[in-house]
Chains A and B, each alone.
Chain A
Amino acid sequence: MKITRHVSLAAGVLALVGAAVAAMPHGAVRGFDVNGFARVPVLEGGRVKPIDSVARNSLLMIRSQQSFRHDGRTIGPDEWLLDVMFRPAVADTQPAFVINDPEVLSLIGQQQTSNRYFSFADLAPGIAEIQRQALAAQRIDAKQRTRFQSAVVNLFERVYLYYRLKNTMQLEGTPGLGAEVATRTAPGAAQRHVALAELAHFRALPPPPGASPDAWRNAGEALLAPNATEDPTLVGWARLGAAWAAQDAASFNRSVDDLAALSVAAHPEAQKQADHEITFNRAQPFYVGMVIYVLALLALFGSWAWKPHLLQPAAFGLLCAGAVVHTVGLASRVILQGRPPVTNLYSSAVFVGWGIVLLGVILERMYRRGFATAVAAASGFASLLVAHHLSGDGDTMEMMRAVLDSNFWLATHVITITIGYSGTFLAGALAIGYTLRRHLARRIDPATTKALGATTYGIICFALFFSFIGTVLGGIWADQSWGRFWGWDPKENGALLIVLWNAIILHARWAGYVREKGVMAMAIFGNVITSLSWFGVNMLGVGLHSYGFMDSAFWALTAFIGSQLAFMALCLAPPKFWRVRSAAAEKGPEQEQPALKT
């Protein structure tokens, strides 16, 4: 018992130390204090964030990754953004654009090969054609677009974002921000500043003293202001840009320090918020959590073959460590956003996984048979993977639209219904675990089978409770904001389906129409219903619409549903197909004597 504890603890602590190390800032890049630059607060998407978040989200949108290899080096998001803004000629040669659609590739005279990444210079010859095609496609309703049209619109939007980033602090092809400040009254300067004010992607200049805290300005607006030459932040940015363009590390680092000092002095709150967010960005808790869950799963698989008394507790320790990292990540988002944890599809995936892992930890504490660890680690990993694929639209902490701007309802309805998803998925995952065990396990262990059955039943009750309450709370929110309790819209119907399905399982069990195996198969079908109501309804009326994630999501969802149906078939397969035939004998006297161990 004691050694079990120690192994658990050691594995967990080791994983947490690993996570903490990952959160440490990296060293300077070629002597440039890029980390210091990353901290600079700017306003984008309606909220103040470190420029690092802008860089990461932009690169994520354009390339679907947060960093890339080029010329034998890994280029991080901040360094990339600096190049885009102040050395556009260099940035244009970096492979920042991902293009998957073969028809779009042919627009720029490329053929589909294993290389999916292209630089702006590669796109340049086809840019006029891309724009022409995209503008034509944009006139068509998003749902009616063909695959090519969606892809070309998507590429054009990314090119436009890249173009705006280039023209945020200074217009491309001009001598730079410093020159603009110095010659701001020269003829033609005002037009350039107006253009800059219109193109800027983010607002880098904090509100002047006494102005509203929302009154952030972009470089163009600041240049148009009467006292631009005395604006220390503008001057600081000008020096920073010039130093990066000249690749003068000492001067760059000095201007980073100056900007930081200005920010801390004038807007300590914004800087604190930005620093917190940057730690969150760097720690990537959901990515780290994913890795720890995989380790937990591997340890558990190992335990079935070798030294179970050591590896099983180690797996549990890792699961707990994963849960801690996951929780910290979730809590950071709550603090950063000032909102309850679920605000969009991305965060719902994170939260669903968190709910499952937490339930799994509790179940493992109760039964100590390893199955809850396996199911929780696998589900935690899967949900974070789904969340990762949902994050490609940019900032995952976007501002809430007016109708959703209600922390009370986000905290009650959205949380309860998401816990309902967690419960239904956990019941399904347990049932899959039950099925696999039946087919694969070599030992006969009726107690575990029984525990699995009881747990699944309990979790279905739990899921019914939360999905019902969540659905009704959703109705009440709808009544409060639109004047109707229930409108039969697809999302509401999806939630109702989960409730109905869980109610059917429970009533069928109470009436004795289904037994252990039937409940398990029905629980697996719960996964199908939940995935449809979670993602499927968003794709309604799609035909083959929307590009990128949602297009591939359609196939991912189809594959998921197919796999669940296969699991159901496996679950319902008669005992003669099972590895452990004797397990069936527990159920009724009509079975003959237990089969021998194999």
Chain B
Amino acid sequence: MARISSLLWGALTSLKLTIVCLAALMVLVIACTLAQVKLGTFAAVDVYIRSWVVWWDVPGTVYSVPIFPGGALAGLVLGLNLVAAQLSRLELSWGKAGLWVVHAGLILLVAGEFVTGAFQVDTQLAVEEGQTVNFVESPRLLELAVVDVTDPQHDDVYGVPAAMLASRDAIQLPGTPVTLKVRYFMENSELTRRTEADPPPMANQGVGTGITARELPRESRDDVPNLTTVFVEPVAGGKSYGTWMASNALAATQTFTHDGRTYELSLRHQRHYLPYSVTLKDFKHDVYPGTQIPKNFSSLVHISNPGRGEERDVLIYMNQPLRYDGKAFYQASFGKDDRLSILQVVENPGWLLPYISCALVAIGLIVHFGISLRRGMRRRTSPETTTAASGSTAAVEA
């Protein structure tokens, strides 16, 4: 038993494992980069980097076989290896202080990527000049929003994530008598005006009766959104309200009324409501004279937070985000003849980790090279070691 554990410990602390992990990461990074051409960045990262194992779908079958450790696994093993090696091999001495700090920084860097993978939420805030917005939207995730608009003062919003529409047959909206039966879900589709030659429509209510939806494979380009379409049948109190088409390609408002309450149905970007609101006062898009090359984008926004009694203006521009309430707002895009500003909103509790890690590694390397340099200087007097010592000198000097 003791032998096995010492063997395991030996393997865990070995430099061989470090090299194997680094090499595995290289392979994964190359594979991920190449796969981006076909899958797009997000999907490629999910397959190769944010996964424990890389799966290969055996062609012609439904089976998938694991063929390579995923980025998460390689990263975790590398992290453990770093910690273990640190504990067992590197003696605790001033001479090794630099390496200690470097490796601590690296562990923090790997940990930071895990935190980001697990907790980072990317959303967008699109706001037109003069408009006030109190929610952010997910740029890639969609939801089927059922909004109870009966009360003109107040809306009740029920959001069903698109992933749930894809996987379930029926969804009961909590707190309402309404159950949504999912008739058909298309992750990506093409909508065209219905012609005589088309098959009968799947929808028998709303605008969907005049539109033909054709299913398409998932979009791989990062900058082109999927046009998702879903056919749902709201059922309430044992009564069906017909089958409706909802799509993020449709702008029309569709409503049905049950028991005196009116519900709006739409497929839209997933929204998260904020405890404060953002008003765009002015958006600027400057170009260099005589060219179309953008020189500057900036959004002057007003933040109104009644909870904190805060009312103030902030200018958000390139490389100058606003960090507020755990979120960071970045100038990301624009539209509608420079009247619409799109802010990228990022929430990542671990955003500071890379900064700390970078500082640690830089300090560590400087300390380490400084120590080697001093040692090298001392050794330089003895002829056999001159070359080796000056090798590391060069590294620091130059």
Query: Which residues from chain A sit less than 8 Å from chain B, CB to CB?
Result: 43-47, 202-203, 214-216, 218, 358-359, 362-363, 366-367, 398-399, 401-403, 405-406, 409, 447, 450-451, 453-459, 461-462, 465, 468-469, 472-473, 475-477, 479-490, 493-494, 496-497, 500-501, 503-504, 507-508, 510-511, 513, 537, 540-541
Chain B, interface size: which category? Answer: 35 or more
- With A399-B293, A454-B388, A497-B26 already in contact, the answer to whether A358 and B398 are too (CB < 8 A) is yes
- Complex Cα distance, B396 from A461, in Å, reads 9
Is A476 a contact partner of B16 (Cβ separation < 8 A)? no
Is A402 a contact partner of B330 (Cβ separation < 8 A)? no
Is A511 a contact partner of B293 (Cβ separation < 8 A)? no
Pick the residue among A459, A485, A497 that contacts B116 (CB under 8 A). A485
Interface centre among A402, A403, A447, A479 (most CB of B within 10 A): A402
Count, A-B residue pairs, CB within 8 A: 189
Main DSSP-derived SS at the A contact region: helix
Q: Can you identify 26 A-B contacts, CB atoms within 8 angstroms?
A: A43-B289, A202-B290, A398-B293, A401-B293, A406-B318, A409-B319, A453-B387, A454-B387, A454-B388, A454-B390, A455-B391, A456-B391, A459-B395, A462-B396, A472-B358, A476-B355, A483-B321, A483-B330, A483-B346, A483-B348, A486-B113, A486-B354, A488-B45, A494-B33, A511-B19, A513-B15
Q: Report if B69 contacts A (CB, 8 A).
A: no
Complex interface residues of chain B between 99 and 129 (CB less than 8 A to chain A): 109, 112-113, 116, 120, 122
Chain B residues near A494: list those with CB within 8 A. 33
- With A454-B391, A501-B26, A511-B15 already in contact, the answer to whether A469 and B288 are too (CB < 8 A) is no
Pick the residue among B19, B36, B122, B361 that contacts A469 (CB under 8 A). B361
Chain B residues near A406: list those with CB within 8 A. 318-319
Chain B residues near A504: list those with CB within 8 A. 19, 22-23, 26
**Given A46-B293, A454-B387; 9 other pairs, CB 8 A cutoff:** A43-B290, A46-B290, A453-B387, A483-B348, A484-B116, A490-B33, A493-B29, A493-B33, A511-B16
Main DSSP-derived SS at the B contact region: helix
Chain B residues near A47: list those with CB within 8 A. 288
Is B361 a contact partner of A496 (Cβ separation < 8 A)? no
Stretch at the interface among B130-138, B238-246, B272-280, B294-302: B294-302
Chain B residues near A367: list those with CB within 8 A. 390
Is B289 a contact partner of A46 (Cβ separation < 8 A)? yes
Is B45 a contact partner of A403 (Cβ separation < 8 A)? no
Chain B residues near A501: list those with CB within 8 A. 26
> A503: nearest residue on chain B (CB-CB)?
B22
Chain A residues near B15: list those with CB within 8 A. 507-508, 510-511, 513
Q: Report if B44 contacts A (CB, 8 A).
A: yes
Chain A residues near B390: list those with CB within 8 A. 366-367, 454, 458
Q: Report if B332 contacts A (CB, 8 A).
A: yes
Chain B residues near A503: list those with CB within 8 A. 22
Is B318 a contact partner of A493 (Cβ separation < 8 A)? no
> B344: nearest residue on chain A (CB-CB)?
A483
- Complex Cα distance, B359 from A201, in Å, reads 48
Is A461 a contact partner of B19 (Cβ separation < 8 A)? no
Pick the residue among A216, A451, A458, A480 that contacts B393 (CB under 8 A). A458
Is A484 a contact partner of B120 (Cβ separation < 8 A)? yes
Q: Report if B179 contacts A (CB, 8 A).
A: no
Q: What per-residue 1/0 map shows which CB atoms of B257-298 lie under 8 Å from chain A?
A: 000000000000000000000000000000111110111110
Q: Report if B188 contacts A (CB, 8 A).
A: no
Is A399 a contact partner of B19 (Cβ separation < 8 A)? no
| Least Cβ–Cβ distance between B233 and chain A, in angstroms | 39
- With A399-B288, A461-B369, A489-B41 already in contact, the answer to whether A482 and B293 are too (CB < 8 A) is no
